[in-house]
Copies of this chain bind each other. A is one copy, B any other.
Amino acid sequence: MRLSQYFLPTLKENPAEAKIASHRLMLRAGLVRQTGSGLYIWLPLGLRVLKKIENIVREEQDRSGAQEILMPTIQNADLWKESGRYEAYGKEMLRITDRHGKEMLYGPTNEEMITDLFRNNVQSYKDLPKNLYHIQWKFRDEVRPRYGVMRGREFLMKDNYSFDIDKEAAKISYDKMFVAYLKTFARLGLVAIPVRADTGAIGGELSHEFQILAAEGESTIYYDKAIESFDLKSLAEDISPDIIQKLQSIYAVEEEKHDADNCPVAKENLRIAKGVEAGHIFNFGTKYSEVMNAKVSGSDGSMIAVEMGSYGIGVSRLVGAIIEASNDENGIIWPEAAAPYKVGLINLGAKNEECTEACDALYKKMQAAGIEVLYDDRKAGAGQKFATMDLIGVPYQIILGPRGLKNNSAEFKIRKTGEKTEINLDEIVSKFI
């Protein structure tokens, strides 16, 4: 993409309303714009990041054997009255009345709808296990939306729901998601600590949150440093049941649950860190299937309420979480997997015909090779171009000016380290494929 034609409104100043790094940087780098309290428009650059993350989440769901469906954002209130949550959910639920006076709501989660889908379409134990997911916009009417997309009202969530014939099978489904989540966060270059969690409005007994370590995170977590030995950032393809068991039993809790006097971990082994919640998994047994009568016939013909779990990843929230975990004073530093473009190409001689021709040719060559490249072809000063590309945070930069061109070379810069080296123009394409 040519920057001169791109709809990428960047800001030089820090917006006053933005209190944390990710919010500031998402506005400044032109990833999003606010259009109402807790409502954001994703601009082209931000949408690219959102989709990259969404695709990684999707791939790991597919790999786990879960099947993708898509439920509507608007739900009938009837289902929630059946489960008993319509009154219980409180003011975070956006309640709506349609033209005929029917009570509806904007889904904050989908346990009821999927349980209804299941009971209407699955009758036998032979059809189990099933795990269905969708990636859809949700709405929670937060009393004070803040921190940009980190605590917006309309947000993109991947949520899925598992159905099993008994508790043992349900634990297997839970563990599969536990692993899928670890792999998802690892692919995004994040350290996510699995934290034993409360089940809150969802219900059930077994639950983990995944907390992304970030200096300005909203949660404070206490955990056994033993967890660091697992190298969560580069988890291997296969995670053995043994390791799952260890990861689930290591001490890791949020501040509210930490009791210094009764902590099983010795003081010298205890870590305290800030985190951003990016995922949450629940095994809640028959809480919904009993009350909503989601039963299948078992092998002996008896009717059995299915064991269920639900699993959520805040996809739009992850955009903010990644920035919280990876930025510096100049801007965002994208991990490659989530980067909107892999390479930024800077033309330092945009008013110089020869240099512009060389940059144009290089841009076309990179595009033809399938390299995702953002080309700063604007007639602007070098300082402005450097600042913009650092702010946007693409992992690699190629900087080409009239002087370098004489030696058929450009500058190659790694955004994360700031390291710069010279590179021959003919070697650039092969460097990135």
Residues of chain A at the chain B interface (Cβ within 8 Å): 6-7, 9, 33, 35-37, 39-44, 47, 50, 67-76, 91-92, 94, 96, 98-99, 102, 104, 106, 113, 116-117, 120-122, 130, 132, 137, 139, 141, 143, 153-154
Contact = CB atoms under 8 A, between A and B. Distances in A.
A47 B102 CA distance: 28
A9 B130 CA distance: 13
B132 A102 contact: no
Pairs A-B, 6 closest by C-beta atoms: A9-B121, A42-B70, A36-B76, A72-B154, A91-B99, A39-B72
Given A39-B72, A39-B76, A44-B68, 12 more contacts: A9-B121, A33-B120, A36-B75, A37-B102, A41-B70, A44-B67, A44-B69, A50-B70, A94-B98, A96-B106, A106-B106, A137-B137
Contact of A7 (B6, B7, B130, B139): B130
B130 A99 contact: no
Nearest to A44: B67
Contacts of A76: 35-36, 39
Contacts of A117: 33, 35, 41
A265 B368 CA distance: 49
Given A121-B9, A130-B7, A36 B139 contact: no
22 contacts: A6-B67, A7-B130, A33-B120, A35-B76, A37-B102, A39-B74, A41-B69, A41-B70, A41-B71, A41-B117, A44-B68, A44-B69, A72-B137, A73-B73, A74-B94, A74-B153, A74-B154, A92-B99, A94-B96, A94-B98, A96-B96, A99-B141
Nearest to A33: B117
A35 B116 contact: yes
A35 B35 CA distance: 30
Contacts of A71: 35, 41-42
Contacts of A69: 7, 41-44, 47
A36 B104 contact: yes
A396 B328 CA distance: 54
A6 B121 CA distance: 12
Contacts of A70: 41-42, 47, 50
Contacts of A6: 67
Contacts of A137: 72-73, 137
Contacts of A33: 117, 120-121
A22 to B, nearest CB: 18
Contacts of A40: 72
Contacts of A72: 35-36, 39-41, 137, 154
A423 B96 CA distance: 57
A312 B335 CA distance: 35
Interface centre among A44, A50, A67, by most chain B C-beta atoms within 10 angstroms, is A67
A204 B139 CA distance: 34
Nearest to A130: B7
A35 to B, nearest CB: 6
A143 B113 contact: no
Nearest to A121: B9
Contacts of A113: 35, 41
Nearest to A105: B96
A83 B50 CA distance: 31
B7 A67 contact: yes
Contacts of A75: 35-36, 39
Contacts of A120: 33
| Residue with the greatest number of chain B CB neighbours at <10 A, chosen from A42, A74, A76, A116 | A74
Contacts of A44: 67-69
Nearest to A112: B35
A319 to B, nearest CB: 12
Contacts of A39: 72, 74-76
Contacts of A74: 36, 39, 94, 106, 139, 153-154
Contacts of A106: 74, 96, 106
Contacts of A94: 74, 96, 98
